Structure 1
Amino acid sequence: MPKKKGHKNNLNADFTINDSANALKPVGKLRKSVETAPPPELSWDQLQDEEYDLVEEINEDGTKSIIRKKKRNHSKCENNIDDSPGIVYPEIVWYLISKFIKPEDVGRFAGINRSAYAITKRESFWRSLYNKYCENKLKLPDRLRLENSYKVYGLRQRVIRALYHTYKVFNMKVAHQATQDSKPHELVKRRCVNVWFHKGVQYWSIYFKFKKLHPLERFEMATSLIEELGRVDANPEENSQVLQVTCHNFYEVPPLMGMTLSSVSVVLSQGFRYHRLHLGFNTGSHNVSRDILPECTVILDSVVSMVVLDWWHPLYPHFDNTVPYNMRDEEALPVLKKDFFN
């Protein structure tokens, strides 16, 4: 049968399901597809480096081809950001929001902007947290109660320590840490500032206090004692950790104050019942490495347990901070007090 004049097979028609099964009525003609014209090919000398990038792509057959892609215009976005810096809210807004901040979110809140950070430096902020989560709690020790205390120095530190006694989220953190193995090797390159002993009912406990060293850190004296005593964020125990080693027997420890921990080794003792702890110490802080032999080695046998305590841990041994840190000699602190372990 001869074809009609002008009739062509529409092979590029857009044929969808609405043209057949879902059609409301029979469709006589199909729609022609709309073809978009490809961009005009430009010669290499007509391409501008500022407008196009050359990108290598892999085709379906495995061959590689180099195509050009137009660069994104970042100048408009940058200009829009500069033109609209945002809304600067007054500090009273952040102060009202701070009343709803949970203890575990204080760090995130302080990182929002300068106004939020300044609020976390205020006495009212930390007293509000204490009144909400710690006040009149039976688990709170008497030394951390602030009901009748008006001392501002180190208020942030005392509130955080109180939260680890009364706040459920922090209690779970301490309980989870107790189930994990202690990591005494993390104390390497810290300076030993104090050592003391305690005799229990069955075991001896030896405490090594270490402080993290900062070579570029300098302690500047405050302009006045009154200004220093008004520091809410003062924390004399910052960057300090205590290694508590519980042994079955007593072992003498040589003077280690001022020396740097260079090596830690834990092995099984004879009989495979206890552990043996090797602590290597060197003088100085910058020449500590694995290749240098320790100048002083402390060996503690029959070790029952080892715990690394941070300053916020409920079992961390705190001395009474009555004098600002940079106005006293740290190594002149008393080794033991009369009611220290009660």
Structure 2
Amino acid sequence: MPKKKGQKKISNQDFTINDCANAPKPVGKLKKSVDAAPPVELSWDQIQDEECDLVEEYDENGIKSIVYRKKRNHSKSEGDNNENAGVIYPEIVWYLISKFIKPEDVGRFAGINKSTYAMTKRESFWRLLYQKYCKNNPNLPERLRLENSYKVYGLRQRVIRALYHSYEVFTKKVVNQSAHDSKPHELVKRCCVNVWFTKGLHHWLIYFKFKKLHPMQRLQNTASLIEELGRVDANPEENSQVLQVTCQNFYEVPPLMGMTLSSVSVVLSQGFRHHRLHLGFNTGSHNVSRDILPECTVILDSVINIVVYDWWHPKYPYFDNKLPSNMRDEEALPVLKKDFFNC
């Protein structure tokens, strides 16, 4: 029968079920295999599990077969990556460089590699910073002087606090921070760990100490006493902030230890001369949101000033400070009203 114009030539090869019923879409022409090189078929005695993989292959007729193909050798590519890994310098090089690191660049220096991070854990690193920027400085308080102190525990914390008294870059940071808003709203979702008050000449100072708790802190293993005393980076005040509220009158504050700050609101009081501070507290740290009403609300009226101090701030209230000579120890203890629970 003569071939008509436009009629396709029918191939003599047999069609399989993969070309008809199991085909994902109709095809007019069978495609060749994508791989340029045919798969290497091995005999059963040459097959090893760690060298080959089972692979499904289709031939020109669309017949599926399972063959063993050798795994790709990554030794060459891994070798190329190792060649481009960079130069590894000995620790003595980083030790010599650490002597020229400025206080504001310590964080960047510690993030270079493991060796530089280990340098910032050494006692000699922080004592050198103290000698260069803090020693014999007239603005340094007596409690932060380390000339005759050989205490290793918390050395990093004491040097950082000393730098905020003597180092010009850090002192300017304190001045710029005091000129701006203290931002008490950033204390939301922090746990209240202490509340106390002191009486000034004309005003009352009420303090709320908050700490940001991390869930992983409870899972950390407790070190021995000797290891703990040798920690240069120990800082019990880490992630702690103190809210100082200056009021014209005294206001009773309920016990809030263990509760989480859930809301902060500052509005004008009557007469528009002072402010009124609203602090909302809830139990637990997971149930704090804007939609939940606070379980306990503290309202402080006639507020004159609101300041938030970080642990490194020069005015952060540390209880190891010396008391004035005209004040007894009982009058300066950070406690609530003694007869609060009997009211």
Instruction: Tell me whether the two structures share a fold, i.e. TM-score over 0.5.
Output: yes
Partner residue, 1:250: 250
User: What is the CA–CA distance in structure 2 between the aligned matches of 1:225 and 1:270, rounded to whole Å?
Assistant: 55
User: What is the CA–CA distance in structure 2 between the aligned matches of 1:110 and 1:77, rounded to whole Å?
Assistant: 31
Q: Does 1:144 align with 2:147?
A: no
Shift, 1:252, TM fit:
0.8
Q: Which amino acid aligns with 1:293?
A: L
User: What is the CA–CA distance in structure 2 between the aligned matches of 1:161 and 1:270, rounded to whole Å?
Assistant: 40
Shift, 1:170, TM fit:
0.2
Partner of 2:235, secondary structure, is: coil
Shift, 1:201, TM fit:
1.1
Shift, 1:217, TM fit:
2.5
Partner residue, 2:216: 216
Partner residue, 1:238: 238
Shift, 1:284, TM fit:
1.0
User: What is the CA–CA distance in structure 2 between the aligned matches of 1:270 and 1:79, rounded to whole Å?
Assistant: 75
Go from structure 1 to structure 2 and tell me whether the alpha carbon gap of 1:86 and 1:151 turns closer, same or farther (over 3 Å shift): same
Partner residue, 2:120: 120
Shift, 1:319, TM fit:
2.8
Partner of 1:208, secondary structure, is: strand
User: What is the CA–CA distance in structure 1 between the aligned matches of 2:189 and 2:238, rounded to whole Å?
Assistant: 16
User: What is the CA–CA distance in structure 2 between the aligned matches of 1:250 and 1:223, rounded to whole Å?
Assistant: 43
Deviates more, 1:219-228 or 1:186-195: 219-228
Q: Which amino acid aligns with 2:304?
A: V
Partner of 1:216, secondary structure, is: helix
User: What's the TM-score once normalised by structure 2's chain length?
Assistant: 0.70
Q: Does 1:335 align with 2:334?
A: yes
Q: Which amino acid aligns with 2:334?
A: V
Partner of 2:293, secondary structure, is: coil
Shift, 1:209, TM fit:
0.1
Partner of 1:93, secondary structure, is: helix
Query: Alpha-carbon deviations, 1:169-215, whole Å to 9, x = none?
Result: 00010000000011111101111000111111111110000000212
Q: Does 1:263 align with 2:263?
A: yes
Partner of 2:185, secondary structure, is: helix
Q: Please show how residues 1-342 of structure 1 align to structure 2 within 5 Å.
A: 80-218=80-218, 220-320=220-320, 335=334
Q: Which amino acid aligns with 1:201?
A: L
Partner of 2:89, secondary structure, is: coil
- Structure 2, unpaired ranges of 5+: 1-30, 36-75, 322-332, 336-343
Query: Alpha-carbon deviations, 1:57-87, whole Å to 9, x = none?
Result: xxxxxxxxxxxxxxxxxxx999754323211
2:197 and 2:334 in contact (8 A); partners too: no
Partner of 1:104, secondary structure, is: helix
Go from structure 1 to structure 2 and tell me whether the alpha carbon gap of 1:294 and 1:111 turns closer, same or farther (over 3 Å shift): same
User: What is the CA–CA distance in structure 2 between the aligned matches of 1:108 and 1:80, rounded to whole Å?
Assistant: 29
User: What is the CA–CA distance in structure 1 between the aligned matches of 2:201 and 2:290, rounded to whole Å?
Assistant: 38
User: What is the CA–CA distance in structure 2 between the aligned matches of 1:227 and 1:215, rounded to whole Å?
Assistant: 23
Go from structure 1 to structure 2 and tell me whether the alpha carbon gap of 1:156 and 1:113 turns closer, same or farther (over 3 Å shift): same
Go from structure 1 to structure 2 and tell me whether the alpha carbon gap of 1:241 and 1:223 turns closer, same or farther (over 3 Å shift): closer
Q: Which amino acid aligns with 1:231?
A: R
Q: Which amino acid aligns with 2:307?
A: V
Partner of 2:169, secondary structure, is: helix
Partner of 1:94, secondary structure, is: helix
Shift, 1:219, TM fit:
5.6
Query: Alpha-carbon deviations, 1:258-284, whole Å to 9, x = none?
Result: 111111000001111100000001111
After TM superposition, where is structure 1 displaced by more than 3 Å over at least 4 residues in a row?
A: 76-82, 219-223
2:261 and 2:282 in contact (8 A); partners too: yes
Go from structure 1 to structure 2 and tell me whether the alpha carbon gap of 1:203 and 1:100 turns closer, same or farther (over 3 Å shift): same
Shift, 1:296, TM fit:
0.7
Shift, 1:130, TM fit:
0.2
Percentage identity across paired residues of the two chains: 78
2:191 and 2:211 in contact (8 A); partners too: yes
Q: Which amino acid aligns with 2:207?
A: Y
Q: Which amino acid aligns with 2:200?
A: G
- Structure 1, unpaired ranges of 5+: 1-44, 50-75, 322-333, 337-342
Q: Which amino acid aligns with 2:120?
A: T
Q: Which amino acid aligns with 2:203?
A: Y
Go from structure 1 to structure 2 and tell me whether the alpha carbon gap of 1:177 and 1:293 turns closer, same or farther (over 3 Å shift): same
Number of aligned pairs? 256
RMSD: 2.4
Shift, 1:285, TM fit:
1.1
